[in-house]
Amino acid sequence: MEKHLHIQTIAWVVQPNHYHILVQTDLDMPGPWLGRLHNGKSTQWNHEDGTPKRKVWRRFSDRQIRSERHFYASLNYIHANPVKHELVRSAVDWPWSSLHKYIETCGRDTLVRWWRQYPIMDYGKGWDD
């Protein structure tokens, strides 16, 4: 019987030069699957642009969520990332993010509580600079 891949997107943000995505998956190791996806897209884009040696996806890292605190800090980090990279002054001003869905479904008060309870501090330092 064929096994179907299960991936549920929890949070995401897309920016001009990178993205972050928090997913729940039944994959033991999502890196190889994502590597194949990136390889296929970069090959396609480089062919379309006539730049066969250009690096499209130059860095990849994945982290397994280890605790409730890690989950909510990751969620906060993803939604605040456009502010970190000085694309906007407030995360709500960035339209390419799941933050707006969270505001709609959870409410601002809940998000503020998560922000205070699960601060990002130096989350991402060294791999998202």
Structure confidence at residue 123 (pLDDT): 77
Q: Which domains does the chain have, with CATH numbers?
A: 7-117 (3.30.70.1290)
- Is the pLDDT assigned to residue 10 strictly greater than 90? yes
Mind listing the pLDDT tens digit for each residue in 64-116? 788 999 999 999 999 999 999 999 999 999 999 999 999 999 999 999 999 99
pTM: 0.75
List CB contacts of 62: < 8 A, sequence separation 6 or more.
Answer: 30, 31, 34
Specify the pLDDT at position 12. 94
pLDDT in tens, 33-57: 666 666 766 777 677 878 777 666 5
